């Protein structure tokens, strides 16, 4: 009986070992190989990512890091202690859903202080990255969302020709509405035909009632843009610029409109677009477009 018990125990242990080994092998398949980096105390290392940084996490207090205020795709990294001997790390997630991991050691005089990860990708150098999901994008991978935004912008087609605003030498037009996986993509353009540059303060998307009586309280619902490509900040005199704005899919009644308002900094050349339900239900499906996702 003892022999049988011992045999059963051995078989169970072997089975557990095989199962554990198989699980470890599966984990190895999804391993993110870290990029190696040297930092120092008296100099700052800069990492330039292809798109804006959404999240950064440092492995220890031996490092300090910060996103550049005027360049959201640049991360500054520096040692907080001279000549630390242990290895540490940090991770970065960018707005396109890419995950980057770095193992860091100290060097009194690093060979390189500035890294352009976009250039490294173009030249085929190894930059390990994995895709992550963002809650606000739902089931849409960030890489797909970015690809759709860029495709609409680059194709630069205008199929809506009846929605626009024009005053003070500024023309604000809606070029197209696209829909995909529970999201709307609004392609807008600003033309500045004046001699004064147009500085954009902000742009709002609100659902509002078409007509509001004197004794009726206006009911408005503001929509939060999830992404836009590219950022529009200034339209020089005698020039134009466009971008694509992503918002959650929504519906309105025939008694409501979507009001897109563009506000100028410190001046009053504000512009408003009014979109009706018929325009939204006729949005073009993204599936009709050829979308190329960058790896």
Q: Are residues 189 and 243 in the same domain?
A: yes
Q: Are residues 68 and 183 in the same domain?
A: no
Taking residues 239-256, report their average pLDDT: 95
Rounded Cα distance between 205 and 36, Å, is: 44
Task: Assess whether pLDDT exceeds 60 at residue 185.
Answer: yes
| Residue whose token pair is 């795709």 | 73
> Is 127 a member of any domain?
yes
Rounded Cα distance between 110 and 39, Å, is: 6
Task: Assess whether pLDDT exceeds 80 at residue 287.
Answer: yes
- Closest to 78 in 3D by CA, of 98, 54, 58: 58
Least confident of 103-107, 124-128, 282-286: 124-128
Question: Residue 282: which residues within 8 A CB-CB, separation 6 or more?
Answer: 177
> Is 1 a member of any domain?
no
Q: Are residues 203 and 273 in the same domain?
A: yes
Taking residues 23-28, report their average pLDDT: 54
CATH of the domain at 99: 2.60.40.1550
Confidence category of residue 216, pLDDT binned at 50, 70, 90: low
Confidence category of residue 213, pLDDT binned at 50, 70, 90: low
> Is 202 a member of any domain?
yes
Q: Residue 172 corresponds to which tokens in the numbers above?
A: 């604000």
Task: Assess whether pLDDT exceeds 90 at residue 183.
Answer: yes
Residue 75 DSSP code? E
Domain span at 39:
35-132
Q: Are residues 115 and 203 in the same domain?
A: no
Helical H segments across 59-200, by residue range: 117-122, 142-155
Taking residues 203-226, report their average pLDDT: 82
Q: Are residues 279 and 153 in the same domain?
A: yes
Rounded Cα distance between 41 and 156, Å, is: 47
Taking residues 60-66, report their average pLDDT: 95
| Residue whose token pair is 């992503």 | 246
> Is 27 a member of any domain?
no
Q: Residue 287 corresponds to which tokens in the numbers above?
A: 């599936």
pLDDT for residue 224: 94
| Counted domains in the chain | 2
Pairing of strands 170-180, 183-192: antiparallel
pLDDT for residue 133: 64
Ramachandran region of residue 80, left (φ > 0), alpha (ψ -120 to 50) or beta? alpha
Percent of the chain whose pLDDT exceeds 70: 81
Taking residues 216-222, report their average pLDDT: 77
Confidence category of residue 9, pLDDT binned at 50, 70, 90: very low
Task: Assess whether pLDDT exceeds 60 at residue 238.
Answer: yes
Confidence category of residue 268, pLDDT binned at 50, 70, 90: confident
Residue 85, SS3? coil
Q: What is the pTM of this model?
A: 0.67
Question: Residue 143: which residues within 8 A CB-CB, separation 6 or more?
Answer: 96, 97, 98, 131, 293, 294
pLDDT for residue 135: 72
Q: Are residues 262 and 153 in the same domain?
A: yes
pLDDT for residue 23: 52
Task: Assess whether pLDDT exceeds 80 at residue 64.
Answer: yes
> Is 56 a member of any domain?
yes
Cis peptide before 241 (omega within 30 of 0): no
Task: Assess whether pLDDT exceeds 90 at residue 285.
Answer: yes
Per-chain mean pLDDT for the chain = 85
Least confident of 14-23, 88-97, 121-130, 255-264: 14-23
Task: Assess whether pLDDT exceeds 50 at residue 8.
Answer: no
Question: Residue 20: which residues within 8 A CB-CB, separation 6 or more?
Answer: none
Pairing of strands 170-180, 164-167: antiparallel
Q: Are residues 65 and 153 in the same domain?
A: no
Residue 208, SS3? strand
Least confident of 51-60, 170-179, 209-218: 209-218
């Amino acid at each position: 009986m003892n022999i049988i018990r011992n045999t059963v125990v051995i078989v169970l242990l072997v089975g557990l070992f095989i199962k554990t080994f198989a699980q470890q092998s599966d984990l190895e398949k999804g391993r993110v190989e870290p990029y190696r980096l040297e930092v120092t105390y008296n100099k700052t290392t800069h990492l330039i990512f292809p798109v804006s940084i959404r999240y950064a996490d440092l492995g220890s207090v031996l490092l300090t890091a910060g996103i550049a205020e005027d360049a959201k795709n640049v991360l500054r990294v520096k040692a907080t202690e001279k000549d630390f001997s242990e290895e540490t790390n940090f991770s970065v997630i960018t707005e396109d859903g890419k995950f980057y991991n770095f193992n860091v050691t100290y060097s009194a005089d690093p060979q390189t202080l500035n890294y352009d990860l976009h250039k490294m990708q173009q030249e085929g150098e190894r930059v390990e990255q994995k895709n992550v999901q963002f809650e606000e994008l739902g089931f849409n991978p960030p890489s797909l969302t970015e690809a759709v935004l860029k495709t609409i912008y680059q194709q630069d087609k205008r199929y809506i020709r009846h929605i626009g605003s024009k005053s003070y030498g500024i023309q604000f037009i809606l070029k197209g509405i696209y829909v995909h996986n529970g999201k709307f993509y609004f392609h807008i353009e600003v033309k500045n035909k004046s001699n004064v540059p147009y500085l954009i303060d902000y742009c709002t998307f609100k659902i509002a009632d078409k007509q509001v009586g004197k004794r009726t309280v206006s009911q408005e619902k503001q929509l939060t843009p999830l992404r836009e490509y590219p950022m529009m900040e200034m339209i020089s005199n005698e020039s134009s610029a466009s971008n694509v704005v992503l918002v959650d899919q929504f519906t309105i009644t025939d008694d409501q409109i979507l009001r897109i308002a563009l506000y100028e900094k410190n001046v009053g050349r504000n512009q408003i677009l009014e979109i009706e339900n018929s325009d939204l239900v006729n949005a073009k499906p993204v599936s009709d477009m050829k979308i190329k996702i960058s790896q």
